[in-house]
Amino acid sequence: MDYPELGWTMMGLIWLAIALYVLSLVRQTWKDQLVRCPETGAVTRILCQQAARPGLPAVIEVERCGLWPEKQACLRTCLSRVREFPEGFRTDARGLRPF
8-62: per-residue pLDDT in tens?
999 999 999 999 999 988 887 777 777 888 888 888 888 777 766 677 666 777 8
What are the distances in angstroms from CA 48 to CA 12, 23, 27? 36, 20, 15
Could you tell me if 89 and 45 lie in one domain?
yes
The more confident residue out of 91 and 26 is 26
Q: Tell me: do 62 and 22 sit in the same domain.
A: no
Nearest to 99 by CA among 80, 72, 73: 80
Q: How many domains is the chain partitioned into structurally? A: 2
Q: Are residues 38 and 67 in the same domain?
A: yes
37 and 22 in a common domain: no
The better pLDDT of the pair 4, 96 is held by: 4
Kindly give the pairing relationship between strand 33-36 and strand 59-65. Answer: unpaired
Rounded Cα–Cα distance for residues 47 and 67 (Å): 12
Q: Residue 48 sits in which domain range?
A: 31-99
Residue 4 shares a structural domain with residue 25: yes
Region 64-87: mean pLDDT is: 78
pLDDT of residue 20: 96
Same domain, 47 and 95: yes
d(CA 36, CA 28): 20
The answer to whether residues 1 and 37 belong to one domain is: no
**What is the structure's pLDDT at 78?**
80
